[in-house]
């Protein structure tokens, strides 16, 4: 289904080419991350928790996944404090729907905290939720029928195996994941349909954020998967294939547009897909899966586009609101998940991010 590309060759560390393709200065990255984080944290805390938008749902879950990455990359206590306060405020519980991928997303941050500091209460409910999920098995496409789900839930399975030492979570993930991928993947286009409603339509629509969720989710799966895991090679093949296609569809200004099948339908830059794609690409470069010479320029252009999208408040603008298909993103539009994606990218650009960080 997916073809492996050749080995990644990075330029010598001190060569002019390597210097030109180095990530931005750490001070710059940290400043822009913090500028985005502070006002977005206030906005998240002021958002009332409702049945439609619970305070432990996917929107804050993605935000705090980015906050967690920022804390792990910087050691900044402000990020850790925000994480702990949020976890305690929701009593370390996932959102209520027992099989819904969105309602597991909060577990990514809970598990990051546990892996760094311990505290069994932080992961007990998430583990119980996944145990119940696996005790009543269904095909992956039934539970994870939309491509966003491939970011929300799978990293939790991998992190649970890391946290507990029990491989059955990551082993159970592989058949679920690939069954979910099969009906959504367009082999001729090397892109994902958002969900079955978009498949086999006369006019193709490929949502940028949906595809960016998948690439970023793959980075988070691979981050915690053992190097000898038998499923690893297949995840890597999909990661490389989707990364290559994403770079082909990046606009010259460094941002991605909402509809990858028609870049002119919504011609304005869209920040959440840009941050998620760039995070995935940066992770791939840092971990030797993508050639720095081929992919670092795309990451650097995206970083500049995202800096331009930051509003005077520091918040990341030009974020398409929550939805299920391409739509307009205005310059003033912000969202916690956009900031979370931006923090994921920023953390990946910092020197501590990976064994091959530059």
CATH at 168: 1.50.10.10
For residues 212 and 192, the answer to whether their CB atoms sit within 8 Å is: no
Q: Are 156 and 111 in contact (CB under 8 A)?
A: yes
C-beta neighbour count of 189 within 10 angstroms: 14
Region 298-305 average pLDDT: 98
For residue 356, being part of any structural domain is answered with no
Please list, in sequence order, all residues whose beta carbon lies within 8 angstroms of the beta carbon of residue 110, skipping any fewer than 6 positions away.
Answer: 87, 92, 122, 123, 126
- What is the number of other CB atoms lying within 10 angstroms of the CB of residue 251? 15
Mean pLDDT over all residues of the chain? 93
By the 10 Å C-beta count (0-12 exposed, 13-18 middle, 19+ buried), 324 is classed as middle
Mean pLDDT within 253-280: 98
Buried b (16+ CB within 10 A) or exposed e, 45-67: eeeeeeeeebbbbbbbbbbbbbb
Burial class (CB in 10 A: 0-12, 13-18, 19+), 188: exposed
| pLDDT at res. 19 | 52
Helices (H), the chain: 16-20, 26-46, 58-74, 77-89, 107-117, 124-135, 140-143, 149-152, 154-164, 168-181, 208-224, 232-248, 271-286, 292-309, 336-349
CB of 239 within 8 A of CB of 280? Answer: yes
Give the model confidence (pLDDT) of 162-182 as tens digits.
Answer: 999 999 999 999 999 999 999
Report, as residue numbers or ranges, the catalytic residues.
148
Whole-angstrom distance, CA of residue 61 vs CA of residue 155:
12
**pTM assigned to the model:** 0.94
Whether 14 has a pLDDT exceeding 70, the answer reads no
Domains: count for the chain: 1
Any domain includes 9: no
Q: Name the residue range of residue 186's domain.
A: 23-349
Of 16-25, 88-97, 250-259, 314-323, where does mean pLDDT reach its minimum?
A: 16-25
Q: Which of 280, 275, 258 is nearest to 316 (CA)?
A: 275
Reading the block at residue 177, the tokens are 């994941």
Lowest mean pLDDT: which of 11-25, 60-74, 136-150, 318-332?
11-25
So what's the pLDDT on residue 257?
A: 98
Strand partners, 186: 191
Q: Which residue has the tokens 């305070």?
A: 55
Residue 117 lies in a domain: yes
Residue 63 reports pLDDT greater than 60: yes
Report if residue 217 sits inside a domain.
Answer: yes
End-to-end Cα separation, the chain, in angstroms? 32
Among 20-24, 65-69, 208-212, which is the least confidently predicted range?
20-24
In a domain, 144, yes or no: yes
Residue 17 pLDDT: 54
């Amino acid at each position: 289904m997916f073809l492996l590309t050749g080995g990644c060759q990075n330029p010598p560390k001190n060569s002019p080419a390597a210097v030109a393709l180095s990530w931005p200065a750490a001070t710059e990255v940290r400043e822009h991350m913090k500028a985005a984080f502070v006002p977005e944290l206030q906005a998240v805390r002021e958002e009332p928790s409702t049945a439609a938008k619970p305070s432990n749902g996917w929107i804050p879950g993605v935000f705090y996944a980015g906050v967690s990455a920022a804390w792990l990359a910087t050691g900044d206590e402000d990020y850790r404090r925000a994480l702990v306060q949020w976890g305690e405020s929701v009593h370390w519980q996932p959102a209520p729907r027992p099989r819904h991928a969105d309602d597991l997303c909060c577990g990514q941050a809970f598990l990051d905290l546990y892996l760094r500091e311990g505290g069994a209460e932080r992961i007990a409910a998430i583990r119980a939720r996944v145990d119940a999920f696996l005790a009543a098995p269904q095909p992956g496409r039934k539970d994870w029928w939309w491509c966003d789900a491939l970011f929300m839930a799978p990293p939790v399975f991998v992190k649970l195996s890391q946290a507990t030492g029990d491989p059955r979570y990551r082993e159970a993930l592989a058949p679920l994941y690939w069954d979910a991928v099969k009906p959504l993947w367009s082999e001729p286009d090397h892109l994902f349909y958002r969900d079955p409603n978009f498949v086999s339509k006369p006019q193709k629509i490929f949502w940028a954020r949906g595809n960016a969720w998948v690439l970023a989710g793959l980075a988070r799966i691979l981050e915690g998967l053992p190097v000898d895991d038998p499923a690893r090679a297949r995840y890597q093949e999909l990661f490389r294939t989707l990364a290559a296609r994403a770079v082909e569809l990046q606009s010259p200004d460094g941002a991605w547009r909402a509809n990858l099948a028609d870049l002119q339908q919504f011609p304005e830059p869209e920040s959440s897909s840009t941050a998620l794609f760039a995070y995935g690409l940066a992770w791939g470069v840092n971990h030797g899966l993508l050639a720095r010479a081929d992919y670092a320029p795309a990451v650097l252009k995206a970083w500049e586009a995202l800096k331009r999208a930051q509003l005077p408040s520091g918040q990341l603008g030009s974020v398409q609101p929550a939805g299920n298909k391409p739509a307009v993103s205005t310059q003033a539009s912000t969202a916690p998940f956009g900031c979370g994606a931006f923090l994921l990218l920023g953390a990946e650009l910092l020197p501590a991010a990976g064994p091959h960080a530059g």
